[in-house]
């Protein structure tokens, strides 16, 4: 019967964490008016979260696009359908790989960095210090990061998709002989703005909210020791990844059935 | 240049790049760049066999896209398939005796509706119907006809 | 015990404070009067929740029962805005300094000024340099917190704590882990600030020697209760047995040296348990 009690305790503690996470989210949103008065904070975070993630997103995007071009060509050429390579590459990227892979990379690079930074601020009493200086730490430290993450994610995903399409073009048209005009023409006639691109953007927006929220919460809620911070960063990457993949299924089912 | 200024410039560049990427996806990847509907008027066409025609399949005239298939349903009174075609508003001079055929683009390609213009003075309007239609080719029937024809020839 | 003081003289009045963490009582009915204008030391063994007390006074934690009044205001009955206004009049020196690591020394000290005042940049600059001068670190204003030693970081944090000319400063274990020279510097600063700027000081510590040097009034706390209170000299000479052991640092007394164990002879020569 011990395990039953343990299960109950785990359930309660999970519920408490979920509650804290939601309360934190609301508290961060309350900091929006204050953030508008201090755009500098947002710009600093956009740099740390957005600009510094561009490199990994760009390189990954190009490579993923190139692999799609390569694999796609081999599969489609079996049916004599190489002409549709453009559509295949673009659809895979815009609908799925762009938003999802970007979110996973984001969680690994920017998410873990955020958790570590916030956790460390908690451990060194900087958050407490801000409170005692009559500055609201949630509004000052956390809200800018949340907004920066939400804005950055769709932009990064679009960048990923764009570079991926070019990567596929480079391999397909440049190396494997697919016709340049056909690559683009088929793509343009088949990929729909509303159904494909906009849905992809909506996905990356949702992922942006979720990944940033998880990263911030884990850092803010961690045990203020070095072990606690390290556990928080690991949790951020794991939880973000699972959440992204799970939500991707739900969103895809809702959007593309 | 102060650190803050550098930061601002880089963040601005980042956002600009992101928006350029979105714009690229809109114009060069998706069909937004093409002449898009917005406004179209509806025309019905009845077929004995709709074949593989799907909603959103293109409607072309002389090979140029003039509309899209908006809806496909079965008419139980008529025992025929009805395709609702959305013709873009700028193509409002289509004669009402135009022929609508279901054609296939290439060997593996998807099916589309091809319009052959007639000679009538009257034009199609919203809610009108194309009366002259040709259904999709069903491969088995074509082969069957061919064999039958050959057999008849042989018999003579 | 100290003579009855008029309400005006008491800066912080704590009555019947009870605070639990889980099932453990950190404070189990504590009454403390912190007089205005002097240095009050709160001492006790490690882990008795002395830092918690400062957080309770500052409103970061809420007591389970009892009241805390600062300058006549009930801290936990204040609205958020009024609580923030009160905090601007309280300075707090954290154990680690708690400087913002991405800002320079100058910007750390300027932070509360930029936050809560509309002073011009040149005015702020002058004030920051003055505060840094008071703690002897004006020359270090360009450095980053990572370049400072522990003692220097604390002094910068102190300069930041006095940036808005508060009416009181709370020191959380200011002497912990300091070398003798930094210790001496800090002791002098605490006393000087207190007297020259007429700031009341609350020092939480278990460094008896240092605290006794500067305190006007000492509260000895253990097991969630106030054991005794009084002037340092008075406690040393006339204090109770427990207080004496604590203040003199005697290894044995009411807090025993030996952890409870069976008789030594039977443990060594008797049957194994």
Q: Which two tokens stand for residue A201?
A: 């953007």
Q: Which of B57, B73, B49, B59 is nearest to B141 (CA)?
A: B49
**Residues A123-180: pLDDT tens digits?**
988 998 999 888 999 999 999 999 999 999 999 999 999 999 999 999 998 898 888 8
pLDDT of C1 reads 42
Decide if A115 touches B, using CB distance below 8 A.
no
| SS3 state at B77 | coil
Residue B96 forms beta bridges with which residues? none
Transcribe B95-130 into DSSP letters. BTT-EEEEEESTTTPPEEEEEE----SSB--TTEEE
Q: How high is the pLDDT of residue A105?
A: 96
A137 CA: distance to closest CA in chain B (Å)? 22
> Rounded CA gap, B72 and B80, in Å?
11
Give the residue ranges of DSSP H helices in A107-198: 112-123, 126-132, 137, 143-169, 180-190
CA C253 to chain centre: 27
Higher per-residue pLDDT: C195 or A242: A242
Which DSSP string do the residues of B86-99 spell out, in sequence order? EEETT----BTT-E
Cα distances (Å, whole numbers) of residue A125 to A146, A214, A234, C203: 21, 21, 22, 18
Query: How far is the CA of A156 from the CAs of A46, A201, B21, C122, in angstroms?
Result: 12, 10, 9, 41
Contact of A174 with chain C, judged by CB distance below 8 Å, is answered with: no
Segment B36-53 shows an average pLDDT of 81
Please tell me what DSSP assigns to residue B103. E
**Lowest pLDDT segment from A32-36, A163-167, A196-200, C8-12:** C8-12
A233 vs B133 pLDDT, higher one: A233
Q: Locate tokens 């000081």: which residue? A: C201
Mean per-residue pLDDT for B106-114?
75
Q: Nearest to residue C186, comparing CAs of C88, C50, C58, C95?
A: C95
In tens, the pLDDT along A1-20 reads 888 999 998 998 888 899 99
Task: Please identify which residue in the block is written with the tokens 């604590």.
Answer: C246
Tokens of A247: 């939500």
At residue A96 the predicted structure's pLDDT band, cuts being 50, 70 and 90, is very high
Please list, residue by residue across A162-173, b when 16 or more beta carbons sit within 10 angstroms of its beta carbon and e when fewer do.
Answer: bbbbbbbbebbb
Rounded CA-CA distance A14/A6 in Å is: 12
A54 closest CA partner among A6, A105, A17, A100: A105
Beta bridge partners of C93: C171
For residue range A49-63, what is the model confidence (pLDDT) as tens digits?
999 999 999 999 999
What percent of chain A shows pLDDT beyond 70? 100
Of B88, B96, B54, B101, nearest to B73 by C-alpha is B54
**Whole-number Å distance between alpha carbons of A43 and B138:** 62
Chain A residues near residue C160 by CB distance under 8 angstroms: 133
Structure confidence by residue, pLDDT tens digits, A104-128 = 999 999 999 999 999 999 998 899 8
3-state SS string over A164-176?
HHHHHHHHHHHHC
Ranges assigned E (strand) in chain C:
10-21, 24-35, 39-43, 65-70, 73-74, 90-93, 168-172, 200-205, 217-222, 225-230
- Chain C CB within 8 Å of residue A125 CB: yes
Task: Report d(CA A64, CA A82) in Å as an integer.
Answer: 18
| Entry pTM | 0.79
Q: Are A95 and A196 in contact (CB under 8 A)?
A: yes
What is the per-residue pLDDT for A38? 87
Looking only at the bridges linking them, the beta strands covering B111-116 and C168-172 are unpaired
Query: Which of B30, B32, B38, B58 to mutate: most A Cβ within 10 Å?
Result: B30
The reply to whether residue B31 touches residue A80, judged by beta carbons under 8 angstroms, is no
Under DSSP, is residue B85 helix (H, G, I), strand (E, B) or coil?
A: strand
Contacts of A58 (CB under 8 A, 6+ apart): A159, A160, A163
CA pair distance B21, A93, nearest whole angstrom? 13
Which subunits have 3 or more CB–CB pairs within 8 Å of chain C?
A: A
Report residue B50 as tokens.
């709709």
Return the number of other C-beta atoms located less than 10 Å from residue A70's C-beta: 16
Paired tokens of B11: 């963040």
Q: Would you call B29 exposed, middle or buried from its count of C-beta atoms within 10 A (0-12, 13-18, 19+)?
A: buried
**Coil/strand/helix, residue A81:** coil
Whether residue B109 has pLDDT greater than 70: no
- Chains A, C: CB contacts under 8 A, how many? 45
Chain B nearest C-alpha distance from A226 (Å) = 30
Interface check for C115 against chain A (CB to CB < 8 A): the answer is yes
**How many CA atoms does the CB half-sphere of C224 hold within 13 Å?**
14
| Whether A184 contacts chain B with CB within 8 A | yes
User: What's the rounded mean pLDDT across residues A188-215?
Assistant: 90
Tens digit of each residue's pLDDT (9 = 90 or more) over B123-147: 888 888 888 888 877 777 778 888 8
Q: For the segment C224-270, what is each residue's pLDDT rounded down to a tens digit?
A: 888 888 888 887 777 777 777 777 777 777 777 777 788 888 888 87
Neighbours of chain A (3+ CB pairs under 8 A): B, C
Q: Give pLDDT tens digits along chain C (273 positions).
A: 444 555 668 888 999 888 888 778 888 888 999 988 889 999 887 766 778 888 899 888 888 889 999 988 898 888 888 998 999 999 899 888 889 988 999 999 999 999 888 899 999 999 999 999 988 888 888 999 999 988 888 889 999 999 999 999 999 988 887 788 888 888 888 888 888 878 889 999 887 778 888 888 998 888 788 888 888 888 777 777 777 777 777 777 777 777 778 888 888 887 665
Task: Say how far apart CA A215 and CA A211 lie, in whole Å.
Answer: 6
Secondary structure class of A96 (helix, strand, coil) = helix
Is B in contact with C (3 or more beta carbon pairs below 8 Å)? no
User: Roughly how many angstroms between the first and final C-alpha of chain A, as a whole number?
Assistant: 45
Q: Tell me how far apart the alpha carbons of residues B28 and A184 are, in angstroms, rounded to a whole number.
A: 7
Mean predicted confidence (pLDDT) in B84-108: 83
Which residue of chain A has the CA closest to C59? A132
pLDDT at C6: 57
Q: What confidence score (pLDDT) does residue A196 get?
A: 86
């Amino acid at each position: 019967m011990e395990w039953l009690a343990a299960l109950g305790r785990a359930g309660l503690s999970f519920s408490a964490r979920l509650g804290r996470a939601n309360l934190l989210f609301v508290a961060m949103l309350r900091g929006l008016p204050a953030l508008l008065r201090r755009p500098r904070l947002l710009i600093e975070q956009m740099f740390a979260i957005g600009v510094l993630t561009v490199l990994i997103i760009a390189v990954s995007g190009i490579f993923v696009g190139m692999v799609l071009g390569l694999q796609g060509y081999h599969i489609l050429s079996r049916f004599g359908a190489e002409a549709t390579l453009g559509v295949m590459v673009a659809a895979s990227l815009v609908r799925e790989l762009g938003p999802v892979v970007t979110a996973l990379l984001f969680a690994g690079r920017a998410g873990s960095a955020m958790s570590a930074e916030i956790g460390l601020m908690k451990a060194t009493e900087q958050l407490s210090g801000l409170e005692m200086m009559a500055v609201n730490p949630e509004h000052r430290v956390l809200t800018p990061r949340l907004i920066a993450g939400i804005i950055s994610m769709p932009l990064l995903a679009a960048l990923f998709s764009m570079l991926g399409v070019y990567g596929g073009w480079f391999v397909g048209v440049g190396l494997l002989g697919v016709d340049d005009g056909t690559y683009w023409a088929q793509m343009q006639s088949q990929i729909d703005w509303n159904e494909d691109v906009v849905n992809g953007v909506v996905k990356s927006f949702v992922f942006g909210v979720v990944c940033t929220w998880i990263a911030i919460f884990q850092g803010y809620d961690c045990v203020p020791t070095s072990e606690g911070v390290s556990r928080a960063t690991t949790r951020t990457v794991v939880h973000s990844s699972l959440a992204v993949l799970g939500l991707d299924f739900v969103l895809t089912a809702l959007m593309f059935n | 240049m102060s650190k803050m200024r550098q930061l601002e410039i880089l963040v601005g560049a980042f956002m600009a790049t992101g928006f350029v990427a979105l714009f690229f996806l809109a114009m060069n990847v998706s069909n937004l760049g093409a002449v898009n509907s917005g406004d179209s008027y509806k025309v019905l066409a009845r077929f004995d066999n709709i074949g593989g025609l799907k909603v959103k399949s293109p409607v072309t005239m002389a090979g140029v896209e003039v509309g899209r298939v908006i809806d496909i349903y079965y008419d139980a009174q008529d025992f025929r398939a009805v395709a609702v075609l959305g013709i873009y508003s700028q193509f409002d001079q289509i004669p009402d005796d135009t022929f609508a055929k279901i054609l296939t683009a290439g060997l593996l390609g998807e099916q589309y509706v091809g319009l052959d213009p007639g000679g009538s003075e009257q034009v199609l309007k919203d809610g009108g119907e194309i009366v002259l239609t040709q259904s999709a080719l069903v491969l088995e029937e074509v082969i069957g006809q061919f064999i039958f024809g050959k057999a008849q020839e042989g018999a003579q | 015990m100290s003579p009855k003081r008029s309400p005006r003289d008491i800066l912080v009045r704590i009555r019947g404070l009870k605070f639990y963490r889980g099932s453990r009582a950190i404070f189990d009915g504590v009454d403390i009067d912190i007089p205005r204008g002097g240095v009050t030391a709160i001492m006790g063994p490690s882990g008795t929740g002395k830092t918690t007390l400062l957080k309770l006074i500052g409103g970061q934690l809420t007591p389970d029962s009892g009241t805390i009044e600062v300058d006549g205001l009930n801290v936990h009955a204040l609205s958020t805005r009024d609580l923030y206004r009160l905090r601007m009049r309280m300075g707090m020196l954290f154990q680690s300094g708690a400087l913002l690591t991405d800002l320079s020394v100058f910007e750390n000290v300027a932070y509360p000024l930029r936050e809560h005042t509309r002073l011009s940049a040149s005015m702020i600059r002058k004030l920051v340099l003055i505060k840094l001068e008071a703690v002897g670190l004006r020359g270090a204003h360009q450095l980053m917190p990572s370049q400072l030693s522990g003692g220097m970081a604390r002094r910068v944090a102190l300069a930041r704590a006095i940036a808005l000319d508060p009416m009181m400063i709370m020191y959380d274990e200011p002497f912990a882990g300091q070398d003798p020279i930094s210790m001496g510097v800090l002791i002098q600063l605490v006393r000087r600030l207190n007297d020259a700027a007429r700031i009341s000081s609350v020092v939480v510590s278990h460094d008896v020697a240092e605290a006794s040097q500067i305190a006007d009034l000492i509260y000895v706390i253990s097991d969630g209760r106030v054991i005794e209170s009084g002037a340092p000299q008075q406690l040393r000479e006339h204090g109770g047995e427990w207080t004496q052991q604590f203040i003199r640092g005697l290894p044995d007394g009411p807090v025993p040296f030996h952890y409870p164990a069976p008789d030594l002879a039977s443990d060594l020569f008797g049957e194994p348990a």
